Chain A
C-alpha cells in the first residue's frame, strides 16, 4: 500500500507541468525560509562582532586604503565615461546603435546546490525585487551564470558548467567564436570549463582571454569568462576544444551582481 502510494506520488510529481512543479517547490522551500533568515542574521551578528574586535589603528589603515582605492576608481570611471562618450559618438557616426551600460544589482548568495548533479546557487533576490528568468549573474571578476528559476524572495542560478548554462563566447585576441557547454565534470568543479570553437583555430593559444560574445541574447557582450589553459583538435581536426580557467571563483561565491535589463 505504502509502496503503491509512493510510486503513484513520484509519477505524479515527475509529470507535473513546470508551473505546478515550481509552486510545489516554492511551498517546500518556504519551510527553509526561517532558517535562511536565521543563518543570515547569525552571519551579520558574527561580522559585527568581529568588527568590534578590530583596533582603531586597523580601522584607520583600512579607511586610508579604501580612500586611495576610491580615488583610483573615480579616475578610472572618469576615463571610462570619456571613452564611452567617444565610443558613442563614433558609433553614431557609422550608424551603429549605442551600447547600453549594464545596470547591476548586488545580492547575496544564501545557499549552494545541495546535490552533486548540478552546479548552482540560490540568491537572496526574488521576483519581488525584480528578478526574472535568464538574467545574467556576474562577480567583479567575471561571469558566474544565469537565473534559471525565480520565486517571490529567491532566485536559483545555473552556474557556468551546468548543463542549463550554455554561453556563446569569443576569444578576445583572435575573435574566434565558441560555445561553453555542458562539461560533464563534477559539480564541485575545479574552476575549469571547456569551450568548443565553431571551427578549427590553431591561432588560439593558452593565455588568450575569453569573453561573452553577446550572441544568443542572454548575456551582454564583453563580460570576462576566463583564460584559455590549453587547446586540442577534436573530430579529426574539424573543431578546436579549449579548457578555460574561469575568472570568477564559483566555489567561493558570497556576493554577486545580477544584471538588470
Chain B
C-alpha cells in the first residue's frame, strides 16, 4: 500500500494549522479562528491504525501549540480523546454515510475546543471568552461541513493511489465444458 495518502493527510494538517494563523479578514468576518483538525482527526481515526492516529494527534497538537500562546501539549489530550473514542467504536459507526460524517464532525468540532478550554482554565492563565461562546458553535459547524469533505477527498486519493482490483472475471467462454450432444 502506498504511503502517499497518509503523507498528504499530515501535509493537510500542517497547512490547516498554518492557515489558522493567516487570513485575518476571514477570521474577522466569521468572528474567531477555526481549526479543521478535529475533522481531520475523525478521518484519521476511521481510516488508519491506532499508531498512525496517535502520531497524527501528537504532530498536529504540538504544531498548533507551537504557533499559539497555549501551554505546550494542552491541545493533545482533547484531540486524542476524540480520535481514540472514534477509533475504538469504529465498528459501530456507519463510516460511509454522509450524515454519520456530519455528526462526527459536529461533535468533534465542539468537543475539542470545549475540552481544550476546560484544560486551560485549570492553568494559571485564564483564556479569553466564555465557556459556551461563538467559537464553539463556529467550530462545530465548520467541522461538520469539513468532515464529509475530508472523507470524500481522502477516500478519492486512496482510490487513486491504491492498486485497483481486477474487475474482469476469470471465466472464459472458450474453455467452458459443455456436456451433452453438440
A binding-site residues for B, Cβ under 8 Å: 2-3, 5-7, 9-10, 12-14, 16, 21, 24-29, 31-32, 35-36, 39, 111-120, 122, 148-149, 156, 158, 161-164, 182-188, 251-253
| Bound complex: CA A4 to CA B161 (Å) | 33
Contacts of B69 in A (CB 8 A): 113, 115, 117-118, 120, 148-149, 156, 158, 162, 164
The reply to whether A116 and B18 form a contact with Cβ atoms under 8 Å apart is: no
Given A14-B73, A117-B127, the answer on whether A28 and B133 have CB atoms closer than 8 Å is no
The reply to whether B120 and A117 form a contact with Cβ atoms under 8 Å apart is: yes
The reply to whether B84 and A185 form a contact with Cβ atoms under 8 Å apart is: no
The reply to whether A186 and B134 form a contact with Cβ atoms under 8 Å apart is: yes
What are some 27 contacts across the A-B interface (CB < 8 A)?
A6-B77, A13-B76, A16-B73, A27-B66, A28-B63, A31-B14, A31-B63, A112-B20, A114-B67, A115-B20, A115-B33, A116-B33, A116-B113, A116-B133, A118-B68, A118-B70, A156-B69, A162-B128, A163-B125, A163-B127, A164-B69, A182-B128, A184-B130, A186-B133, A187-B32, A188-B28, A253-B24
Contacts of A28 in B (CB 8 A): 62-63, 65-66
Min CB gap A254→B, angstroms: 9
Closest to A6 in B: B80
Contact with A along B1-38 (1 / 0, CB 8 A): 00000000000001101101110100110011101000
Q: Pick the residue among A35, A113, A115 that contacts B18 (CB under 8 A).
A: A35
The answer to the question of B100 belonging to the interface, with a C-beta cut-off of 8 Å to chain A, is no
Closest to A111 in B: B21
Contacts of A31 in B (CB 8 A): 14, 63, 66
The reply to whether A32 and B64 form a contact with Cβ atoms under 8 Å apart is: no
Residue of A21, A116, A149, A164 contacting most chain B CB atoms (<10 Å): A116
Q: Pick the residue among B62, B64, B67, B77 that contacts A7 (CB under 8 A).
A: B77
Contacts of B127 in A (CB 8 A): 117-118, 163
| Bound complex: CA A148 to CA B17 (Å) | 21
Contacts of B113 in A (CB 8 A): 116
The reply to whether B24 and A251 form a contact with Cβ atoms under 8 Å apart is: yes
Min CB gap B139→A, angstroms: 8
The reply to whether A113 and B68 form a contact with Cβ atoms under 8 Å apart is: yes
Given A24-B62, A117-B128, the answer on whether A6 and B72 have CB atoms closer than 8 Å is no
Interface contacts beyond A27-B66, A32-B66, A112-B24: sample of 9 additional A-B pairs, CB < 8 Å, sorted by A: A3-B80, A14-B74, A113-B68, A114-B67, A115-B68, A116-B128, A120-B69, A162-B69, A185-B128
Given A2-B50, A2-B84, the answer on whether A16 and B28 have CB atoms closer than 8 Å is no
Residue of A2, A112, A186 contacting most chain B CB atoms (<10 Å): A2
| Bound complex: CA A182 to CA B128 (Å) | 8
| Bound complex: CA A13 to CA B72 (Å) | 6
Min CB gap B56→A, angstroms: 11
Min CB gap B109→A, angstroms: 13
Given A25-B72, A113-B69, A118-B68, the answer on whether A187 and B24 have CB atoms closer than 8 Å is no
Contacts of A113 in B (CB 8 A): 21, 33, 68-69
The reply to whether A187 and B66 form a contact with Cβ atoms under 8 Å apart is: no
